[in-house]
Each structure stands twice: as structure tokens, then as C-alpha cells.
Amino acid sequence: MNVRDLSPSELRDQLERGAFRLRIGPFVAQVRTGLASVVRSLGFFYGDYPLEPFEPFEPFEPFEPFEDDSGIADFHLRLAPPPGLRRYYRPQVLFFQDGRSQFQPYPQGLAPPLFEWGLNWCISKQAHQYLIVHSAVVERGGRALLLPAHPGSGKSTLTAGLVHRGFRLLSDEHALIRPEDGRIVPVPRPIALKNESIAVIQKLGPELVFGPTFHDTQKGDVAHLRVFEDSVKRSEETAAPGWVVFPKFIKGGSHRLEPVAKAAAMMELVDNSINYSVLGSVGYRALARLVDESMCLSLDYEDLSEALDELKHLPERAL
């Protein structure tokens, strides 16, 4: 069963009871919330995603489950208002993981993007069975194109454009690399676009479906792009390394795509890795394998169309 198979009342009921168990790539997120905006957002963005059967957790005595730990899942999440007057006066929302609030309160109007940011945080902090690189990942012809970059580099804009050009989305945020074989594991989720990038991608075509734009966040204006159904259906289909491209949007700059030395690429990837130091030698070998099996390039761009044309033809280059 997929999320879209639930009626609006069934979706709301499952979320209020904590019986909503969402499969996203290799992870299961059990979500509880009574906030109408989050209920609508999950139905809108995750309609094509599969649901896992709800299996209540019965702990051995004398242990008691967490309030939000009533089923087996990778992440037990809850979004709820804080106690007291903030439920009513300038209402706020808290993000709970395993029954514990993880961040400062957010304005309740930002609850839907808080879910996405919070899930990013959970993957970064817990998914240490993978080497995690802060990178977008798309795939074509069985090979992955990684776009590792710090915020503001134009990573998500390029990713949305490549998806529009026929690439499969593996992730907008995390490259999950299996240490045992070096393959990239998909975790496709809505693509977060910010500020001027929102209008740029909206102009590409009506087949790109956006949720609402949230204003005055810590990142400015934010809107999310819904994932194409094909990327969701192929969530269990991993990809081999192909290309590592370090993008940088330079307003008023010249276009440049050029090779990067393997040693320099390795150091740049270390800088973009989230849990490299946690994994130790396992992380080093996984990252070295990625560099060894990939063509490594840097991309400076201002014109999105020109950049997409070059990236689209990368699969025609020899590795």
C-alpha cells in the first residue's frame, strides 16, 4: 500500500495515532503528528511512497517504550506544539526524535519544512552503516553523478534541472555509499529550492510540481519539488559510481568544466563527508574507492541551461 491509497481521514488518523510508517529508500520513518499542515504535506509529497505495516513494539519487562517508540522503525518522529501559551499565541512547533525534542521551537507555519530538515538531521546522525557525503546524486545508465557542495553552490538547482532532463533522483541531500561494494543507495525525497532558484526551476515546465513557498526561514524563501514517481519506484535500485562534479554558482562568472586531480577530489570529498571520521578506515577506503571509480570534475556556472547541457552529456564521456 502507498500513502496515496489512504483517504484524507485515514491518513490523519494514522498520523495522530503514530501508526504511519513511511518507507523512504532504505529507511522506515514512523511519524506522529496532529498538525494539519504536516498531514497535508505528507500526503502531497509522499503519495507515491510505500507504507510499512504497523507493528506495535512490546518491550521486555521492566522496560517501557518511548512515547513515540510504539513500532519498529529507523526513526520515530513527532511534530507537536510545545506546552503552554505557545499553542495559541504565536504558535510554535517542536521536532521530537525518540521522544526527545532535538531543536529549538520553530514557528508553526514552518512545520512542513521542519519535517524535511529534521529527517535530514536523523539520517546524518544515525545512518552510519553508510559513508554519508553531503551531496546530491542523480543517475543515468546505471551510473551515479554526485554533486558534493556546501550550501549556496547551486547543488539543488542543478539537481532539479537534471531530473527535468531525464536523470533519476537518488537524493538531493545525502550520498549514501555502501562500504562493502561502493554502490550508491537511493533515498529520494523532495528537492529543497531556495530564493531565486524557485522561480528558475518553476519555469522549466509544468511537470515539475511544487509545494507552497515558505517565507522568512533561516534559509530565506524555501519551496520543495515533488519527486517523480519513477524515482520512488526504483528506490531499491542502487547505482555504481560514475562522476563526481563539484559545482559552484558564480553570478557574473564564466562557465568552466574541468578535471580535478584525484588527490584534490579526495580532500574535497572528505570536507563534504558527514561521518568520515566516525567510520575511520572504513570511511577512508569507501571514499578512496569512490574517487578511483569516478571521473572527477569541477563546474563553475552562471547559466543553468549551459551547465545542464554539459552534465547531460557526461555519460557519453569515457570514464
Same domain, 141 and 287: yes
pLDDT in 10s for each residue of the chain, 319 residues? 999 999 999 999 999 999 999 999 999 999 999 999 999 999 999 999 999 987 665 555 554 544 544 568 999 999 999 887 666 778 999 999 998 888 889 999 999 999 999 999 999 999 999 999 999 999 999 999 999 988 888 899 999 999 999 999 999 999 999 999 999 999 999 999 999 999 999 999 999 999 999 998 888 999 999 999 999 999 999 999 999 999 998 887 778 899 999 999 999 999 999 999 999 999 999 999 999 999 999 999 989 999 999 898 886 555 4
Same domain membership, residue 264 and residue 204: yes
* Residues 247 and 162 both lie in one domain: yes
Same structural domain, 113 and 231: no
Q: What is the pLDDT of residue 251?
A: 83
Residue whose C-alpha cell reads 520513518 in the numeric block: 29
Looking at the fold, whether 46 and 182 belong to one and the same domain comes out as no
Of 94, 126, 158, the position where a domain reaches its end is 126
Q: State which of 95, 126, 157 marks the end of a domain.
A: 126
Say yes or no: 142 and 290 in one domain. yes
| Residues 80 and 181 placed together within one structural domain of the fold | no
Question: Do residue 157 and residue 295 come from a single domain?
Answer: yes
In this structure, the answer to whether residues 201 and 179 fall within a common structural domain is yes
**Which pLDDT score, from 0 to 100, does residue 64 have?**
52
Q: Name residues whose C-beta falls within 8 Å of residue 118's C-beta, 6 or more positions apart in sequence.
A: 77, 79, 95, 97, 102, 103
Domain containing residue 161:
131-316
For residues 152 and 270, state if they share a domain. yes
**Residues 60 and 194 grouped into a single domain:** no
58, 166: one domain: no
List of residues 6+ apart from 225 with CB closer than 8 A: 160, 163, 190, 191, 193, 201, 208, 209, 210
Taking the model in full, what pTM does it have? 0.90
Looking at the 3D structure of the chain, how many domains does it have? 2
